[in-house]
Amino acid sequence: MSYFDAASAAPLHPVGRQALLAALDEGWADPARLYREGRRARLLLDAAREAVAEAVECRPDELVFTPSGTRAVHAGIEGALAGRRRVGRHLIVSAVEHSSVLHAAEVHEARGGSVTEVGVDRTGAVAPDAFAGALRPDTALACLQSANHEVGTVQPVAEVAGACRAAGVPLLVDAAQSLGWGPVAGDWSLLTASAHKWGGPPGVGLLVVRKGTRFAPQGPADERESGRAAGFENIPAVVAAAASLRAVRAEAAEEAARLRELTERIRARVPALVPEAEVTGDPERRLPGIVTFSCLYVDGETVLHELDAAGFSVSSGSSCTSSTLTPSHVLRAMGVLSEGNVRVSLPPGTPAEDVERFLTVLPGVVAGVREKLGAPVTAGGVRGAERDGEGSGAAAAAGALVVDALGRRCPVPVIELARVIGDVPVGGTVRVLADDEAARLDIPAWCEMRGQEYVGEEPADRGSAHVVRRVS
């Protein structure tokens, strides 16, 4: 089995495993106690904190360990907003932040605060000028991830941090995906991360609050971790997290170059091997191991199941996956195709032959799913439907062709559009009736990929009518 989902959770690094087992014997006692076992546990905790602080490039007393990366994000946002409540209640986030950041923003807004969401371009990157333009006199906090968890795009953190610093606004950086590759550049004020993203054990997050940053921990007071993370420290897991971070950092330069070559191989060959596929994310400013692509006319959940059966563990931001009926907020913000989305995130040590086997298997998997769904696909792409429109659900109305895809989920509305576009003359239109949220993203993306014109969305009795004009 080839595990290609390191962006969700990286396998436990061998060094981390050794440290975990050793710390189970040595670090089980209460580090707040003065007897021998407690002192031994305290030494382990302090050494782990110093090691992680060195990797982050912060002071040990600026860093605390939390029960998870998500809890670090929530504690960081809540504490920073509370610490600057006299300044105002305005929060800035990017449109592609991790859901933990966006959920915290929703809670803040529900409690009467205001939130500005800064958009991104088609590569998934924010523009520093746009981010700086969102700063206001009442801005209490800004949040920006160091690199995106779905498409791998690296954000201009240093530039944004400089603008925030000039405005006197603290910047919280979610470094979950990038910290294993190196420290985060820029004059940021707060930073969060999660150990299971870099090959540490799950259940360990970290929160860094720079000296001079106003911060008021929320919730009941607790004497542990400077009052910023309540509860008994999981010292064995913390020790393993620190050991694995040090180990992956020592390997980072060499492994980054190797994984970058492998993901570049995927980026270059998928469009050549799979007709109607779109590779997303920045081609240059990206993490070494992540590559994401979307394929027209396929069901994302079925693709994942078929790849799993073929021996590959991947993830997806498609709206067709079982966990959601809406497209990934990242893909939606980028304005790129969401259907048939596949995220490949290679863990360190991935053999090149596994990637070659993936590229060999993928075209057949996609072709098989398309065939099951009835997509009119040839080796060169999608052909026009037969003139009678058999099976298309299309009807002529008011000089246009109408496709009724109401009640049908991705990728069916796009498949039906592709089947009938050849039945209208150049300049003619097709109106696709759909109530699937993904249609708002995937029909315009289809038009851009196929060289047709997306006229826009119109209200309908049910759902919406997506109007497409045939250009070629």
The whole-number pLDDT of residue 305 equals 94
**Closest by Cα among 180, 183, 160 to 170:** 160
The whole-number pLDDT of residue 396 equals 57
- Residue corresponding to tokens 């009442």: 138
Confidence of residue 300 (pLDDT cuts 50, 70, 90): confident
| Residue 58 is a catalytic residue | no
Percent of the chain whose predicted confidence (pLDDT) is above 70: 93
3-state secondary structure of 291: strand
Dihedrals phi, psi of 67, to nearest 5 degrees: -70, -10
Q: Catalytic residue among 295, 320, 410, 447, which?
A: 320
Q: Above 90 in pLDDT, residue 7? A: yes
- For 117-140, the pLDDT digits (tens) are 999 999 999 999 999 999 999 999
Q: Above 90 in pLDDT, residue 414? A: yes
The whole-number pLDDT of residue 318 equals 61
Q: What's the whole-number average pLDDT of the chain?
A: 92
Q: Above 70 in pLDDT, residue 383? A: no
CB distance 94 to 117 below 8 Å: yes
Range with lowest mean pLDDT among 80-89, 345-354, 394-403: 394-403
Q: Above 80 in pLDDT, residue 50? A: yes
Pairing of strands 90-94, 139-145: parallel
CB distance 255 to 348 below 8 Å: yes
The whole-number pLDDT of residue 377 equals 54
Tokens of 251: 């390997």
To the nearest 10°, the Cα dihedral for 178, 179, 185, 188? 100
The whole-number pLDDT of residue 365 equals 97
The whole-number pLDDT of residue 322 equals 47
- For 19-42, the pLDDT digits (tens) are 999 999 999 999 999 999 999 999
Tokens of 33: 């106690």
The whole-number pLDDT of residue 226 equals 79
pLDDT mean over 164-168: 97
Higher pLDDT residue, 317 or 430?
430
pLDDT mean over 383-403: 55
Q: Above 60 in pLDDT, residue 345? A: yes
Confidence of residue 438 (pLDDT cuts 50, 70, 90): confident
